[in-house]
Homo-oligomer: A and B are copies of this chain.
Amino acid sequence: MAVGPETLPEFHPVAGLRLGIASAGIKRPGRKDVVVFELAPSSRVAGIFTKNQFCAAPVTLSRRHLAEAAPRYLLINTGNANAGTGARGLRDAEACCQALANSAGVRDVEILPFSTGVIGEPLPVQKIVSALPEALADPREDRWAEAARGIMTTDTRPKGATRKVALGDHTVTISGISKGAGMIRPNMATMLGFIATDARIAPELLQTLASELGEKSFNRITIDGDTSTNDACMLVATGQYSGPEITPDSPQLPKLREALESVYLELAHAIVRDGEGATKFVTIDVTGAASQQEALDVAYTVAHSPLVKTALFASDPNWGRILAAVGRAGVENLDLEALEIYLGDVCLVRNGGRAEDYSEARGQAVMNGEEITIAIDLKRGNVRETVWTCDFSHDYVTINAEYRT
């Protein structure tokens, strides 16, 4: 199940980035489960990683390699997360990097590894290494759609976004893919995102963009409140376009940033739309907060409430559950008389209780839609935060009760 139509675009190739795909048979024979990004030497890479303290071996190693060298390859496998695997996990991730480095003629620190899948099983290094020749045999710029499929786990559909944007006289291309359907929550989740552009971007600016855009997109989505051990979202700038280097002072920056942001949001929203068992795409929009923390506390408390989520699944305008979630979000001294809660454009709560002009029919009309906005105005300040989530359905339970069997 997923919300809305499948919308994998016709990807624009990104000059300087070639993709290879292979079957290592990690979980199922024949399934494409290894993806390699080959980056031109002019490339720069920045990213953000999971904040889960039990971060997986590939996350530890990618962070380390990123600090030591400019990456030439990203190596992604599905079917096994190489997480909760202790010291052996780190050695296994290193072995995969070393094998790819040997085959490609680069140093191992120039490889960034990414793994997603089941936690706690040893990484099948030999299977992955055996698949590398296939992954390196035919690297091409036009294999984005294959790559989008190659990084899927419980995803029901591939996720991608692509743009061409004129920056003055030069055209810049942006393409990206993402994966993830469960264990999705702020600060990343079994969520991977790879966004690439052929723009040339100053290194520090690239990290700033990777951090800020990731924060407001991938770190603002939640399916179930669980944060994976393996999340990563990488921004690659191959530097192969014809224009000048983009710096914090470049007049082109706002337009580039806007285009990148729309790709980040599209990829992050695609994960929510494909949330495990999702039937609704839900925007939680908190305004009038006194601080970012309280805005996020309220947004996530509503987004994670199983009672709100099951009501959304049932298309039940059970506004009392939304109100109760706001009330328990830990914000001190809420002004219950002042705050307002809306479902779409229908006011649910005003003056401390149900809005006078609310009717079940009006609430129901909003709830019947596939895309629903819950807007909460705390009337305490000027801070706004938005979080995206989905509902909680029978299929979520089925998927997660049967994942390993």
The verdict on A115 contacting chain B, using a C-beta distance below 8 Å, is no
- A229 sits at the interface (CB 8 A): yes
Q: Are A316 and B404 in touch, CB under 8 angstroms?
A: yes
| 0/1 interface trace, chain A 323-346, chain B, CB 8 Å (1 if under) | 111111001001010000000000
Q: How far is the CA of A52 from the CA of B327 in the complex (A)?
A: 5
Q: Which of A304-321 contact B (CB under 8 A)?
A: 304-307, 310-311, 313-314, 316, 318-321
Q: Which stretch of A25-33, A40-48, A349-357 is in the interface?
A: A349-357
Contact of A316 among B119, B185, B405 (CB under 8 A): B405
**Interfacial residues of chain A within 82-102, with CB under 8 A of chain B in the complex:** 83-89
| Smallest Cβ-Cβ distance to A119: which chain B residue | B320
Contact B53–A88 (Cβ < 8 Å): no
Interface residues on A, range: 35 or more
A334: chain B residues at CB < 8 Å are 53-54
With CB as the reference atom, state the residue of chain B lying closest to A317: B404
CB distance from A349 to the nearest CB of B (A): 7
User: Are B328 and A53 in contact (CB-based, < 8 A)?
Assistant: yes
Q: Determine if B54 and A336 form an interchain contact, defined as CB atoms under 8 angstroms apart.
A: yes
Q: How many copies does the complex hold?
A: 2
Contact with A225, one of B305, B323, B398 (Cβ below 8 angstroms): B305
Chain B residue with the shortest CB-CB distance to A349:
B84
CB pair A326–B54 under 8 Å, yes or no, is yes
Nearest residue (CB) in B for A358 is B120
Complex Cα distance, B326 from A336, in Å, reads 34
Which of A62-70, A288-296, A389-397 lies at the binding interface? A389-397
Cα distance A89–B352 when bound, in Å? Answer: 10
| Cβ–Cβ < 8 Å partners of A183 in chain B | 307, 324
Evaluate whether A225 and B304 lie within 8 angstroms (CB atoms) in the complex, with A84-B349, A353-B120 already known: yes
Structural contact, B52 and A226, CB atoms closer than 8 A: no
Docked-complex contact B313 and A354, CB < 8 angstroms: no
Contact (Cβ within 8 A) A52 B401: no
Q: Does A224 contact B (CB under 8 A)?
A: yes
Q: Output the least CB separation between A312 and chain B (Å).
A: 9
**7 pairs across A/B with beta carbons < 8 Å?**
A54-B334, A89-B353, A119-B318, A226-B306, A229-B327, A316-B403, A392-B397
Sorted nearest first, the 7 A-B pairs with minimum C-beta distance are A119-B320, A86-B353, A54-B327, A314-B401, A310-B400, A227-B328, A120-B320
Chain A interfacial positions (CB closer than 8 Å to B):
51-55, 81, 83-89, 118-120, 182-183, 185, 187, 224-229, 304-307, 310-311, 313-314, 316, 318-321, 323-328, 331, 334, 336, 349, 351-354, 392-394, 396-398, 400-405
